[in-house]
Chain A
Amino acid sequence: MTAPQQDGSLIELVDIRKVYQMGVSEVNALDGVSLRIERGEYVAVMGPSGSGKSTLMNIVGCLDTPTSGSYKLRGTEIRDRDDDELARIRNQEVGFIFQTFNLLSRADALHNVELPMIYAGRPKRDRRERAREMLDLVGLGDRTHHRPNELSGGQRQRVAIARALVNEPSIVLADEPTGNLDSKTGLEIMALLDEVHRGGNTVILVTHEEEIAANAERVVRLRDGKIESDQATARHASAAPRGTASPLPPAS
């Protein structure tokens, strides 16, 4: 992977608008959002349902493109990219962690983690080795050949985290990662995300729970498609120095 752009933010959104056609009326899901996120930040995006946070996630994750405005990822404009280029960016630059895990049900943990590397075109032996390593790091070294339905919710989310990190993305996008977990398992997963962040990854967390958002260094609040507030959390000051005391590999 190329070196990050020294003279710009990792993510730079300028006046992003997203308009959906709902029958005859138009809905402004995002109504002029501008946001910068630097490399290594841990940002929580909050807001009630319908505030546009999912749309923002989709755009930042390159699953969707804005109607207008500019989105630069590592200094590269994303707006005019075609489907295949977006797929490649998702593959190389973005790691998704979903509320519903979104693992392939017919594939075992190892194969699920391999998946992004398959689409990156990495050779099989290489893939295997790397996927095993990642599962070891999330504490599932002994579950490599279990299918999702043979794993607990927490274990599934660990597989998903391993999958999100396997191609060393620039951004880790976690969309309500604890939404389908009990509170104890949720805490474990949040601890793991903390580790991911300490390993040098940029983490963007979408949630509607204050408690979960408190894990981040910065909270961006959305309402009606606009940014309502953008503040550092109390935790920011006490955040551990990055790149230390972590088993997770830093992003390149």
Chain B
Amino acid sequence: MTPLPRPRREFWAAQGENLRIALDALRANKLRSVLTVIGNVVAVMSVIAVVAVIDGMNTYVSEKVLEQGLKVIYIDKFGLITNEDAWREAMKRRDLTLLDAEALKQRARLASEVVGQLETTKRVRAGRIELQNVRVLGTTEGYEAVGKYEADQGRTLEDDEITKRRAVCLLGSELAGQLFPVLDPVGQEVRVAGYALRVVGTVSPRGNVLGQSQDNFVLVPFGQFQKIFGPHESITILMRARPGADLERAQDEARVILRARRHVPLGKPDDFAITTSETYMSLYQKLTAGILAGTIGLVAISLLVGGIVIMNIMLVAVTERTREIGIRKAVGARRADLLSQFLSETVVLSLFGGMIGVLVGVVLALLIRLVTPLPASIQPWSVAISLFVASSVGLFFGVYPATRAAKLDPIVALRHE
């Protein structure tokens, strides 16, 4: 058999034609195209917006949590309780006392400061102004270093005032502003549960965490707190790891000291809880991972539904354009040419949906940033991945319609009305 001349085909010659056909089809059926790709739009939009928000939350939370609690170890009776059984179990534990704090202070070599604190919320009054739900903290010496308290007006509590249980207090900046809108708060008197306390200073603003003010508190000497609220409360011990010391090892050291002091038998769990800002961060990260997983589920469903819609519309398009397919075959288009033509068309369509989704997602993320304190930021990788997935969906669901087009008999196709 004499072979007929085989021309050298230019790959890009055909791809240019494919892109042109795809864009033509998109332009010819604008509304239909938009409706077809709604699944893709929703999917891509969700990915972009959710990733932006979660990333914003991550930045925000890690900044806030870490700036205040870095290298601080919290030891208390309950710790991070996430279910009722754990809570009931924790209720049976012995209270932590100042003696525990004292033991840590003397024996923990990796801790630079050990502070015992008590906390409650109470009404606070100054003159005629009374405020509800104010955090009242009782603290031992060393609190400035552990909790990063700096005096704004006046001074902080002195060690002497704490050991001698003086009736003095420090005010958070927000509380100070509310109780003393006009007067200088330093030297004034506030009443906590009926006990008069003299204000020695105010603390520099510490900002908000998730809308919760960190400046709405009264800080009093530990002894004074017990005088007001009674002595029978389990304390929270705050320790700061020594500079350069590993946080993990500082925790282990504290655990060993406390277990020995509290006679916890070998093999039994701790009868106290040690948490760090990292504990909260990891809990938080589990939460956001959950949100992300949920989003991925939603995205998968929209992509599946969207893909099926795209496939159906492409089947309609193949039927509508049977004549065109016939003409192309008559002038020499091979199966592969029509296959790649219709595949490109579906991919372009899906990508078009993806791009609308990116647009809507970006707008949504910016809107969230505008109305919430979350610094939602668009992640380029989420844009790249979602566009890639959107076009892959087009490729996958385009195979069937494109195969149908490629397999059409040219004679039948040319006769099609």
Contacts and interface: CB of A to CB of B under 8 A. Distances in A.
The answer on A and B forming one complex is yes
Interface of A: 1-2, 5, 58, 61, 63-64, 74-77, 83-85, 87-93, 96, 98, 102-107, 115-116, 118-124, 127, 163, 167
B337 A76 contact: no
Given A88-B332, A116-B332, A123 B1 contact: no
A119 B21 CA distance: 14
Interface in B1-52: 1-10, 13-14, 16-17, 24, 28
Interface stretch (B81-89, B139-147, B319-327, B366-374): B319-327
22 contacts: A58-B411, A61-B330, A63-B411, A63-B414, A75-B2, A76-B1, A76-B2, A76-B4, A84-B334, A84-B336, A87-B332, A90-B329, A92-B5, A96-B331, A118-B17, A119-B332, A119-B333, A120-B7, A121-B8, A122-B7, A122-B13, A124-B16
B13 A88 contact: no
User: Which of A93, A102, A103 has the most chain B CB atoms inside 10 A of its CB?
Assistant: A102
B331 A163 contact: yes
A98 B3 CA distance: 28
A88 B6 contact: yes
B337 A119 contact: yes
Given A102-B323, A102-B326, A120-B332, A92 B7 contact: yes
B332 A91 contact: yes
B79 interface: no
A122 B323 contact: no
Given A2-B5, A102-B330, A121-B14, 6 more contacts: A58-B411, A76-B2, A115-B327, A115-B331, A116-B332, A123-B13
Contacts of A163: 331
B410 interface: yes
Interface of B: 1-10, 13-14, 16-17, 24, 28, 323-324, 326-337, 410-411, 414
A85 B331 CA distance: 13
Given A102-B330, A119-B332, A120-B332, A89 B10 contact: no
Contacts of A127: 13
Contacts of A102: 323, 326-327, 330, 414
A106 B1 contact: no
Nearest to B329: A87
A240 to B, nearest CB: 30
A63 B331 contact: no
B411 A123 contact: no
Nearest to A115: B331
Q: Which 5 A-B pairs have the closest CB atoms?
A: A91-B332, A121-B9, A119-B332, A87-B334, A116-B331
Nearest to A163: B331
A107 B336 CA distance: 21
A38 B65 CA distance: 90
Given A92-B7, A96-B330, A84 B335 contact: yes
A214 B10 CA distance: 42
A193 to B, nearest CB: 18
B332 to A, nearest CB: 2
Nearest to A118: B17
A75 to B, nearest CB: 6
Contacts of B7: 88, 92, 120-122
A163 B327 CA distance: 11
Given A87-B332, A124-B16, A104 B6 contact: no
A119 B331 contact: yes
A104 B5 contact: no
B113 to A, nearest CB: 76
A84 B335 CA distance: 7
A118 B14 contact: yes
Contact of A106 (B10, B28, B334): B28
A173 B324 CA distance: 19
Given A106-B28, A120-B9, A121-B9, A88 B411 contact: no
Given A63-B410, A91-B332, A124 B4 contact: no
Given A75-B2, A76-B1, A116-B332, A103 B327 contact: yes
